[in-house]
Structure 1
Amino acid sequence: MTDDTSTDSGPVEPHHEDLGSRLNWLRAGVLGANDGIVSTAGLVVGVAGATDSREALLTAGLAGLLAGSLSMAAGEYVSVSTQRDSEKAAIALEKRELREQPEEELDELTRLLTDRGLAPELAREAAEQLTERDALRAHARVELGIDPDELTNPWHAAWASFIAFTVGALLPLLAIVLPPQSWRLPVTVLSVLAALAVTGWGSARLGAAPVRPAVWRNVAGGALAMGVTYLAGTLLGAVGA
């Protein structure tokens, strides 16, 4: 019975951890695309308020796309690199403690398992079995919440942010430069608001949050951004004329 319990408790937690990790990546992708949509839409709509030049709109949109995607990628790389360094340091400390004070670490693992709801005797037996199998992995997962074999990869995070932002930014960029002049603004506004509704719905579903408030917040925020930048562009264009 003890073996079944320890065996069952092993893979269940990593399963939930993996699921949570995948959801976090998906949520980051949705939010990255959302940032690309809003920032690029605000930029090109603002420029559209000042000029009708397709070349100017394309130049501004591409500049915003590249600057935003590279900034997002660099930020994610730095952030995740820092997280990875912290995880490595925590694992190295745990490895040293296991080598220098194994009995204290066994007591600590027992206490952690007891805190998770196991009876003290069962927690001790499970701690001994986990320690015998792979002490470092057991402590990393139970005590630190880290899988030593699946540390966060900063390059994966950087590329994911770069691609998500680029995909989101392409929508307002194409919407503002492809249609005829008289259709540019309405096509862009409608396309952006529809895309923001989708990303708001997606982020709410991934976060198990109410959908309607998330969609309305997203759409209202995007509409406000485009309205403010368009007004600013119109005023600057009038001053320049």
Structure 2
Amino acid sequence: MNNQPTYPARHYAQKIGWMRATVLGANDGIVSIASLLIGVAAASVGRGEVLIAGVAGLVAGAMSMAAGEYVSVSSQADTERADLERERCEHETHADEEHEELAGIYRQRGLDAGLAKQVAEQLMARDPVGAHARDELGLTEVHRARPIQAALASAAAFAVGAALPLGVTWFAPEKYLVPGVAAGSLAALALLGAVAAYTGGAGLLKGAGRVALWGALAMAATALVGRAFGAFV
């Protein structure tokens, strides 16, 4: 059996940008809307009111996730651009110092002084800012901030995740609405956690368990709140 990787090889880190936004969005969609539905249903209201609350929560949550991701990742992108502009200015005004700085980085990584100097010269001759961005700042295309991509992925994933407990609410018999939403949502959360763990190269059971645990705690908390407030309203 050939276990040699194909080239160009793809690594788990190459998936981290879209995976983070997608998993976070779907997880929030399931947990938030399932908890909302269970909390409202526990207050002893009808299916119609529960569905209205759930749809409103889906729209509000998706927009909130998109806005939050966009603002957060945009701030990261602004910082990256500022760092790159600073490196560009430093190269224009202190090229020799920048060359020595890059060579020093390579010496710290194990190259001898002559080879480190040669590597720094060749890389800076081709793309001085890119060389410093990669080896001094740790900025690469794999980890580059993409605000629009993150916002759209997060909002879409939230909506998809939220659709599952809403679907259960629509089809489940009203007297089984709460346990149905809880069971379906926990199963989906466990599956999502396992898929995310597999995609990221981690253990499946650990990934599934930690997501399902926090989802169960959130649903239990909102059920208690809904029951308590329902008794007074």
Aligned residue number for residue 151 of structure 2: 158
Q: Secondary structure at the match of 2:226?
A: helix
Are 1:76 and 2:76 an aligned pair?
no
Q: Secondary structure at the match of 1:51?
A: coil
Does structure 2 retain, via aligned residues, the 8 Å contact 1:23–1:206? no
Distance, in Å, in 1 between the alignment partners of 2:20 and 2:140 is 21
In structure 2, do the counterparts of structure 1 residues 148 and 238 end up closer, same or farther at CA, with 3 Å as the change threshold?
Answer: closer
Aligned residue number for residue 4 of structure 1: none
* Partner residue of 2:82 out of 77, 89, 100: 89
Identity of aligned residues (%): 45
Q: Which runs of 5+ in 1 are unaligned?
A: 1-10
Does structure 2 retain, via aligned residues, the 8 Å contact 1:45–1:229? yes
Q: CA deviation at 1:118?
A: 2.0
* Partner residue of 1:43 out of 30, 36, 40: 36
Which digits, 9 at most, give the CA deviation of each residue in 1:138-173, with x for residues without a partner? 111111122479842211111111111111111111
Q: Which protein is richer in helix relative to its size?
A: 1
Distance, in Å, in 2 between the alignment partners of 1:198 and 1:117 is 43
Does structure 2 retain, via aligned residues, the 8 Å contact 1:40–1:64? yes
Distance, in Å, in 1 between the alignment partners of 2:161 and 2:88 is 43
In structure 2, do the counterparts of structure 1 residues 174 and 86 end up closer, same or farther at CA, with 3 Å as the change threshold?
Answer: same
Q: CA deviation at 1:19?
A: 5.0
Aligned residue number for residue 191 of structure 1: 184
Aligned counterparts, 1:161-172, within 5 A: 161-172=154-165
Does structure 2 retain, via aligned residues, the 8 Å contact 1:65–1:169? yes
Does structure 1 retain, via aligned residues, the 8 Å contact 2:190–2:211? yes
Does structure 1 retain, via aligned residues, the 8 Å contact 2:42–2:178? no
Kindly report structure 1 stretches of 4+ aligned residues shifted beyond 6 Å.
Answer: none
Partner AA of 2:196 in structure 1: S
Does structure 2 retain, via aligned residues, the 8 Å contact 1:52–1:181? no
* Partner residue of 1:213 out of 206, 210, 215: 206
Partner AA of 2:210 in structure 1: R
Distance, in Å, in 2 between the alignment partners of 1:117 and 1:137 is 21
* Partner residue of 1:223 out of 216, 219, 222: 216
* Partner residue of 2:52 out of 40, 53, 59: 59
In structure 2, do the counterparts of structure 1 residues 148 and 26 end up closer, same or farther at CA, with 3 Å as the change threshold?
Answer: closer
Does structure 2 retain, via aligned residues, the 8 Å contact 1:31–1:203? no
Q: Secondary structure at the match of 1:144?
A: coil
Are 1:202 and 2:195 an aligned pair?
yes
* Segment drifting more, 231-240 vs 193-202: 231-240
Which digits, 9 at most, give the CA deviation of each residue in 1:51-78, with x for residues without a partner? 3422211111011111111111111111
Does structure 2 retain, via aligned residues, the 8 Å contact 1:47–1:233? yes
